[in-house]
């Protein structure tokens, strides 16, 4: 018997016993030489290993032995470790070349072949027993399977001669008991119909089925077998006419109520519409229109409701309930009109004659439809307006969020803030055009609960041509301004700290040449006292911080203008308060420029 277990290399010492492949169990021709027999499984060696003491075993058998019993050789009991086992490829090759009989010999297969081909052969062997795929629990030889499936299997599918549907061969009676094409007699009327047609027969034609009067929706509660329905209709004509008349009165009242709630007309009788020749033609002319309008309006309304969840509109609250009332009432009117039309057809024109007595109602209906159309269009326009408004709100919200992000950045920058001046060429042009123009950065904090500052940038033209450079040279002026912050109440004033300005060099691959200036706060400067307005008008910084020329062209080595954006960094570090005499604090100038107080 062949075990089809995988030859996996299972680690030893596992508590779970995995399936192991034993040796090859075939009839060898000639009989298997004992030297190729595994002493553990007593079968032909499969993937043999040889021990250091010179004994051969199937790989899985010896691993099994080592994990299941004492770690000794199963033949001579000498101690044995995994490292004492070596693949015996020579023995494996010799075993695989031994001749064996096909396991199906007793079933008729006469094949004798090399062991290495036997598994391949048995998969294809025509004498291999296989289980019927129909799960009829019969086992047949592979070569007989087709015939079994074709003519013997009890579960083979057979097509029903009546309904063409398949059923298992041994379940013919069961199928016939449910086949839709088997003729059966109706239990009520004894008519013979196909089983599948029985429901249709019952609902449409069986004369013995009890049905309700077609005027049930108008109030006739009469029920009878279908065969007697005609008699009822002819006997109760007067009653049915009465019901229809009542229904029409209700419709009239409803239309009146509708027109009043719409606030359009006074008495319908005062409108003076011309009488219409026939209700039927009138309805056929008008009814498609309100139907379509109803569809559009409800769609529009639904869409509006969805948007309304995001952005409720006061306008909608004004208009929508009224319109909604009108639409629902119109729907009722539409139903009533349909019912009237049916009644008219059913009563062979008698009802038409009756209804023609209210021509002004037809006219009201028509006008009402027109009015609804107008209102729907108006509603659509309002919706479009709302959509536009909503888009703008979203845009504004976007700005707010962006500003919020900037605010958070400033709040949590820990005193090191980078001011990104986008489109600096545009900013410069504006500064040149208006000499008084200044730009302020967003506020930033020295710490989330520290001082709030902002930066200020403007343009200064050197009139004297002094130490800063030639006359007429343009300078960027950079100042820091205190701002009113949330923490001012508990902070120490005046502010004491060191502030470092840096115009950042964004060049790549070169040593950074930031323009850096450091200054120290001075307690007697108003610029460092507690701000009394949103932004302290007094600032502290450099009127001549950096020449515009240098900033714009970067002196050929630095790149201060990166994709049009100027990056200015301010680093504010607090000093321990009251550390030294007030007069000692001053500005530290690394370049020749002077720190100046600016009013």
Partner 1 sequence: MGGRGGGGQSAGWTTTLWTGHSSTSDMANIAIQRIKREFKEVIKSDEAQKCAINVELVGDDYRELRGEIAGPPDTPYEGATFQLEIKVPETYPFNPPKVKFVTKIWHPNISSVTGAICLDILKDQWAAAMTLRTVLLSLQALLAAAEPDDPQDAVVAKQFKENHPLFLETAQYWSHVHAGVPKGNSEFSKKVRRLMDMGVGEHQALVALSSCNWDMDRAIEQLFS
Q: Say what the alpha-carbon torsion angle 551, 552, 557, 560 is, to the nearest 10 degrees.
A: 60
Binding segment for partner 1 (CB under 8 A), chosen from 16-24, 81-89, 455-463, 519-527, is: 16-24
Instruction: Rule CB under 8 A: choose which of 48, 103, 494, 541 binds partner 1.
Output: 103
Instruction: Compute how many residues bind partner 1; rule: CB under 8 A.
Output: 47
How far apart (Å, rounded) are the C-alpha atoms in residues 537 and 20?
A: 90
Give DSSP secondary structure letters for 446-515. SSTTS-EEEEEEEEEE-SS--TTSSTT-EEEEEEEEEE--TTGGGS-SS--EEEEEEEPP--SSS----E
How far apart (Å, rounded) are the C-alpha atoms in residues 467 and 544?
A: 10
Min separation Cβ 76 and partner 1, Å: 7
Instruction: Rule CB under 8 A: choose which of 10, 50, 51, 64 binds partner 1.
Output: 64
How far apart (Å, rounded) are the C-alpha atoms in residues 256 and 268?
A: 7
Q: Does 143 bind partner 1 (CB under 8 A)?
A: no
The torsion region of residue 559 among left (phi > 0), alpha (psi -120 to 50) and beta comes to beta
Q: Does 31 bind partner 1 (CB under 8 A)?
A: yes
Binding segment for partner 1 (CB under 8 A), chosen from 65-73, 145-153, 320-328, 363-371, is: 65-73
Given the complex with partner 1, which of 106 and 170 has the nearer CB atom?
Answer: 106
Q: Binding string to partner 1 for residues 162 to 181, with x set by CB under 8 A, is what?
A: --------------------
Q: Does 28 bind partner 1 (CB under 8 A)?
A: yes
**Of 519, 522, 538, nearest to 594 (Cα)?**
519
How far apart (Å, rounded) are the C-alpha atoms in residues 547 and 554?
A: 10
Tokens 């205190």 appear where? Answer: 482
Instruction: Rule CB under 8 A: choose which of 23, 48, 343, 443 binds partner 1.
Output: 23
Q: Does 76 bind partner 1 (CB under 8 A)?
A: yes
Instruction: Rule CB under 8 A: choose which of 72, 307, 409, 562 binds partner 1.
Output: 72
Given the complex with partner 1, which of 56 and 240 has the nearer CB atom?
Answer: 56
Question: CA–CA distance from 588 to each of 395, 467, 496, 591 (Å)?
Answer: 46, 17, 14, 9
Binding segment for partner 1 (CB under 8 A), chosen from 71-79, 166-174, 271-279, 492-500, is: 71-79
How far apart (Å, rounded) are the C-alpha atoms in residues 541 and 518?
A: 9
Binding segment for partner 1 (CB under 8 A), chosen from 18-26, 193-201, 260-268, 412-420, is: 18-26
Question: CA–CA distance from 141 to each of 106, 144, 168 (Å)?
Answer: 12, 5, 22
Binding segment for partner 1 (CB under 8 A), chosen from 82-90, 100-108, 277-285, 433-441, is: 100-108
Min separation Cβ 129 and partner 1, Å: 6
Q: Does 42 bind partner 1 (CB under 8 A)?
A: yes
Given the complex with partner 1, which of 25 and 197 has the nearer CB atom?
Answer: 25
Instruction: Rule CB under 8 A: choose which of 39, 168, 346, 370 binds partner 1.
Output: 39
Given the complex with partner 1, which of 28 and 528 has the nearer CB atom?
Answer: 28
Structural contact between residues 138 and 145, judged by C-beta atoms closer than 8 angstroms: no
- Based on the number of CB atoms within 10 Å of its own CB, is 566 exposed (0-12), middle (13-18) or buried (19 or more)? buried
Q: Does 323 bind partner 1 (CB under 8 A)?
A: no
Pairing between β-strand 452-461 and β-strand 474-483 as defined by DSSP bridges:
antiparallel
Instruction: Rule CB under 8 A: choose which of 49, 58, 73, 496 binds partner 1.
Output: 73
Query: Which residues in 234-253 contact partner 1 (CB under 8 A)?
Result: none
Min separation Cβ 138 and partner 1, Å: 12
Given the complex with partner 1, which of 104 and 326 has the nearer CB atom?
Answer: 104
Phi then psi dihedrals of residue 192, to 5 deg: -95, 120
Q: Does 48 bind partner 1 (CB under 8 A)?
A: no
Tokens 């930031």 appear where? Answer: 514
Q: Does 97 bind partner 1 (CB under 8 A)?
A: no
Given the complex with partner 1, which of 39 and 352 has the nearer CB atom?
Answer: 39
Tell me the residue length of the chain: 599
How far apart (Å, rounded) are the C-alpha atoms in residues 455 and 410?
A: 12
Q: What angle do CA 450, 454, 456 make, to 5 degrees?
A: 160
Instruction: Rule CB under 8 A: choose which of 10, 51, 65, 259 binds partner 1.
Output: 65
Q: Does 514 bind partner 1 (CB under 8 A)?
A: no
The H helix count followed by the E strand count for the chain is 15, 24
- Which residues neighbour 289 within 8 Å (Cβ) at sequence distance 6 or greater? 369, 373
Q: Does 100 bind partner 1 (CB under 8 A)?
A: yes
Given the complex with partner 1, which of 45 and 333 has the nearer CB atom?
Answer: 45
Min separation Cβ 123 and partner 1, Å: 13
Tokens of residue 503, six digits: 């115009």
Instruction: Rule CB under 8 A: choose which of 6, 97, 106, 235 binds partner 1.
Output: 106
How far apart (Å, rounded) are the C-alpha atoms in residues 6 and 93?
A: 19
Q: Does 565 bind partner 1 (CB under 8 A)?
A: no
Q: Which helix (H) or strand (E) holds 240?
A: helix 237-262
Residues forming the site for partner 1 (CB under 8 A) = 1, 4-5, 16-20, 22-28, 31-32, 34, 37, 39-44, 55, 64-65, 68-70, 72-77, 100-101, 103-106, 128-129, 131, 139
């Amino acid at each position: 018997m062949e075990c089809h277990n995988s030859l996996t290399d299972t680690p030893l010492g596992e508590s779970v016993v995995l399936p192991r492949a034993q040796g090859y169990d075939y009839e060898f021709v000639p009989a298997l030489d004992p030297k190729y027999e595994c002493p553990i499984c007593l079968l032909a060696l499969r993937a043999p290993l040889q021990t250091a003491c010179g004994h051969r075993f199937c790989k899985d058998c010896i691993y099994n032995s080592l994990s299941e019993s004492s770690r000794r050789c199963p033949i001579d009991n000498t101690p044995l470790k995994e490292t004492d086992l070596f693949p015996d490829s020579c023995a494996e090759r010799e075993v695989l070349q031994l001749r064996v009989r096909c396991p199906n010999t007793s079933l008729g297969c006469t094949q004798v072949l090399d062991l290495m081909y036997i598994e391949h052969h048995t998969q294809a062997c025509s004498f291999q027993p296989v289980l019927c795929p129909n799960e009829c629990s019969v086992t047949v030889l592979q070569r007989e399977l087709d015939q079994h499936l074709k003519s013997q299997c009890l579960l083979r599918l057979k097509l029903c001669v009546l309904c063409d549907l398949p059923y298992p061969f041994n379940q013919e009676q069961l199928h016939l008991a449910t086949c839709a094409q088997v003729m059966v007699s109706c239990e009520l009327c004894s008519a013979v119909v196909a089983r599948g047609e029985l429901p249709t027969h019952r609902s449409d034609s069986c004369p013995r089925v009890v049905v309700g009067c077609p005027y049930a929706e108008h109030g006739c509660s009469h029920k009878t077998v279908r065969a007697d329905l005609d008699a009822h209709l002819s006997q109760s004509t007067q009653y049915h006419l009465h019901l229809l008349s009542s229904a029409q009165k209700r419709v009239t009242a409803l239309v009146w109520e509708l027109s009043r709630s719409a606030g359009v007309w006074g008495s319908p009788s005062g409108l003076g519409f011309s009488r219409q020749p026939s209700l039927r033609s009138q309805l056929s002319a008008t009814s498609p229109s309100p139907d379509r309008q109803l569809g559009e309006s409800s769609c529009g309304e639904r869409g509006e409701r969805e948007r309304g969840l995001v952005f409720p509109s006061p306008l909608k609250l004004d208009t929508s309930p009224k319109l909604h009332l009108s639409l629902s009432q119109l729907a009722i009117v539409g139903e009533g009109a349909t019912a009237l039309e049916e009644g008219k057809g059913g009563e062979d024109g008698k009802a038409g004659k009756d209804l023609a007595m209210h021509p002004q109602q037809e006219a009201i209906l028509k006008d009402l439809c027109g009015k609804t159309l107008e209102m729907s269009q108006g509603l659509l326009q309002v919706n479009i307006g709302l959509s536009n408004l909503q888009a703008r709100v979203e845009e504004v919200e976007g700005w707010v969020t962006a500003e919020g992000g900037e605010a958070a950045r400033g709040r949590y920058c820990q005193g090191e803030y980078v001011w990104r001046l986008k489109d600096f060429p545009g900013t410069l042009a504006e500064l040149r055009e208006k000499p008084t123009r200044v730009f302020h950065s967003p506020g930033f904090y020295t710490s989330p609960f520290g001082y709030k500052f902002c930066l200020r940038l403007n343009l200064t033209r050197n009139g004297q041509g002094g130490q800063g450079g030639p006359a007429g040279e343009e300078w960027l002026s950079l100042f820091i301004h205190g701002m009113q912050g949330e923490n001012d109440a508990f902070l120490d004033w005046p502010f004491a700290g060191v502030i470092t300005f840096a115009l950042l060099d964004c060049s790549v691959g070169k040593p950074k040449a930031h323009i850096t200036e450091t200054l120290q706060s001075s307690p007697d400067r108003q610029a460092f006292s507690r701000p009394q307005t949103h932004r302290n008008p007094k600032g502290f910084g450099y009127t001549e911080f950096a020449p515009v020329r240098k900033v714009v062209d970067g002196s050929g080595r630095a790149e201060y203008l990166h994709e049009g954006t100027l990056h200015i960094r301010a680093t504010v570090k607090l000093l321990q308060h009251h550390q030294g005499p007030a007069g000692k604090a001053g500005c530290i100038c690394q370049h020749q420029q002077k720190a100046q107080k600016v009013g």
